[in-house]
Amino acid sequence: MLYSINGLTKTYHNRTVLDIPSLHIERGGIHALLGPNGAGKTTLLNILGFLESPSTGDIVYESKVVQFYESYLQDLRKTVVLIDQQPILFSTSVYKNVEFGLKVRKIPKKDRPGIVKEALDLVGMEQFLNAPANTLSSGETQRVAIAQALAVLPNVLLCDEPTSSVDIENQVKILNILKQINKDKKITVIFTTHDRFQAAFLAQHTLFLDHGQLTTAGYENRYTAFLTQKDNQQIHCRIQDSIDLLIPLHQIGSNTGKAQVMIDPEKVSLCHRDDISMNSACWEGRVVQITDEKDNIRIIIDLGVWISMVMLRSTYQKSYLLVGERVYIQIPPSSIRIV
Amino acid sequence: MTFLFDSFQSAILLVISLDREIISIVSVSLKLSSTSTLIASLVGIPLGFYIAFESFPGKRMTITCLNTLLALPTVVIGLFVYSLIARKGFLGSLDLLYTQKAIIIGQTILIVPLVTTLIIAAISRIDERYRKTAMTLGANRFQTALVIFREARFGIVAAVIAAYGRVISEIGISMMLGGNARGFTRTITTAMALEYDKGQFTLAVALGIILLGISFGINLLFHFFQGRTRI
**What percent of chain A lies above the pLDDT cut of 90?**
49
pLDDT at A217 over 60: no
Alpha-carbon distance of B113 to B117, in angstroms, equals: 6
Helix/strand/coil (H, E, C) string of chain A?
CCEEEEEEEEEECCEEEEEEEEEEECCCCEEEEECCCCCCHHHHHHHHCCCCCCCEEEEEECCEECCCCHHHHHHHHCCEEEECCCCCCCCCEHHHHHHHHHHHCCCCHHHHHHHHHHHHHHCCCHHHCCCEHHHCCHHHHHHHHHHHHHHCCCCEEEEECCCCCCCHHHHHHHHHHHHHHHHHCCCEEEEEECCHHHHHHHCCEEEEEECCEEECCCCCCEEEEEEEECCCCEEEEEECCCEEEEEEHHHHCCCCEEEEEEECCCCCEECCCCHHHHCCCEEEEEEEEEEEECCEEEEEEECCCEEEEEEEHHHHHHHCCCCCCEEEEECCHHHEEEC
Q: Has residue B215 got a pLDDT over 60?
A: yes
Answer whether B140 sits within 8 Å of A74, measured CB to CB.
yes
Q: How high does pLDDT run on average in chain B?
A: 91
Same domain, A9 and A131: yes
According to the model, what pLDDT value does residue A31 have? 94
Chain A residue closest in CA terms to B153: A91
Residue range B59-99, pLDDT digits in tens: 999 999 999 999 999 999 999 999 999 988 899 899 999 99
CB A173 within 8 A of CB A167: no
- Beta strand A3-12 pairing with A56-61: antiparallel
Interatomic CA distance for residues A208 and A39, integer angstroms: 9
Q: Are residues A201 and A226 in the same domain?
A: no
Task: Decide which of A166, A185, A215 is a domain's last residue.
Answer: A215
φ/ψ bin of A65: left (φ > 0), alpha (ψ from -120 to 50), beta (otherwise): beta
Residue B200 pLDDT level (bands cut at 50, 70, 90):
confident
- For residue A69, give how far its alpha carbon lies from the nearest alpha carbon of chain B (Å): 12
pLDDT for residue B231: 40
- At B85 the pLDDT is 94
Contacts A82 to B, Cβ<8 Å: 132, 136
User: Is A99 in the same domain as A154?
Assistant: yes
Per-chain mean pLDDT for chain A: 89
Q: State whether A290 and A142 are in the same domain.
A: no
Taking the CA atoms of A87, A89, A94 and A100 in sequence, report the sign of the dihedral they define.
negative
Q: Is B141 in Cβ contact with A84 (below 8 Å)?
A: no
Question: ipTM above 0.95?
Answer: no
| Higher local confidence (pLDDT), B137 or B206 | B137
Lowest mean pLDDT among A88-102, A227-241, B162-176, B215-229: B215-229
Backbone angles phi, psi at B209, to 5 degrees: -65, -45
pLDDT recorded at residue A110: 95
pLDDT at B230: 47
Same domain, A226 and A205: no
**Under a CB-based contact definition with an 8 Å cutoff, are residues A316 and A323 in contact?**
no
In this prediction, residue A332 carries a pLDDT of 87
Rounded alpha-carbon distances, angstroms, from residue A174 to A97, A103, A183, A202, B128:
19, 25, 14, 11, 24
Chain B residue with Cα closest to A149: B137
d(CA B185, CA B96): 12
- When pLDDT is cut at 50, 70 and 90, the band that residue A60 belongs to is very high
Q: Which residues pair with A226 in a beta bridge?
A: A238, A258
Pick from A329, A331, A324, A317: which is nearest to A271 by CA? A329
| Cβ–Cβ under 8 Å, residues B124 and B57 | no
The beta-carbon neighbor of B132 closest among A74, A84, A105 is A84
The pLDDT, as a whole number, for residue A2 is 93
CB B54, CB B122: distance < 8 Å: no
Task: Tell me: pLDDT of A316 over 50.
Answer: yes
Q: Is the Cβ pair A90, B150 closer than 8 Å?
A: yes
A296-302, strands of its sheet edge to edge: A269-270, A326-330, A282-293, A296-302, A306-312
pTM for the structure as a whole = 0.76
Mean pLDDT of B154-161: 91
| Residue ranges per structural domain of chain B | 22-229
Query: Quick one: A184 and A239 in the same domain?
Result: no
Distance (Å, whole) CA A114 – CA A136:
22
How many structural domains are present in chain A? Answer: 2
Which residue of A48, A72, A88 to mutate against B (max B Cβ within 10 Å)? A88
Q: Is B22-229 a domain of CATH 3.30.499.10?
A: no
Assess whether pLDDT exceeds 60 at residue B160: yes
The CATH number that applies at residue A142 is 3.40.50.300
| Dihedral angle, C-alpha A317, A318, A324, A326, nearest 10 ° | -160
pLDDT band at A277 (very low <50, low <70, confident <90, very high): low
A132 has a chain B CB within 8 A of its CB: no
**Domain encompassing residue A268:** 222-338
Q: Which residues of A touch B134 (CB under 8 A)?
A: 100
Contacts of A291 (CB under 8 A, 6+ apart): A197, A200, A297, A298, A299, A300
The contact set of B with A (CB < 8 A) is 127, 129-130, 132-141, 143, 147, 150-151, 231
Among A166, A194, A215, identify where a domain stops. Answer: A215
Indicate the pLDDT class of residue B139, thresholds 50, 70 and 90: very high
Specify the pLDDT at position A303: 87
The b/e string for A57-94 (b: 16+ C-beta within 10 A; e otherwise) is bebebeeeebeeeeeebbebbbebbbbbbbbbbbbebb
What is the CATH number for A237? 2.40.50.100
A136 and A169 assigned to the same domain: yes
Can you tell me the distance from the alpha carbon of B97 to that of B85, in angstroms, rounded to the nearest whole number? 6
**Same structural domain for residues A183 and A236?**
no
In this structure, how many other beta carbons lie within 10 angstroms of the beta carbon of residue A146?
Answer: 27
Per-residue model confidence as pLDDT tens digits over A1-22: 899 999 999 999 889 999 999 9
Asked which of A16-20, A110-114, A230-234, B17-21 is least confident by mean pLDDT, the reply is A230-234
pLDDT at B103: 97
Q: What's the CA gap between B3 and B77, in Å, rounded?
A: 36
Q: What is the pLDDT of residue B228?
A: 60
Please check whether residues A44 and A116 belong to one and the same domain.
yes
With a cut of 90, say whether residue A191 has pLDDT above it. yes
- For residues A226 and A236, what is the distance between their CA atoms, to the nearest angstrom? 8
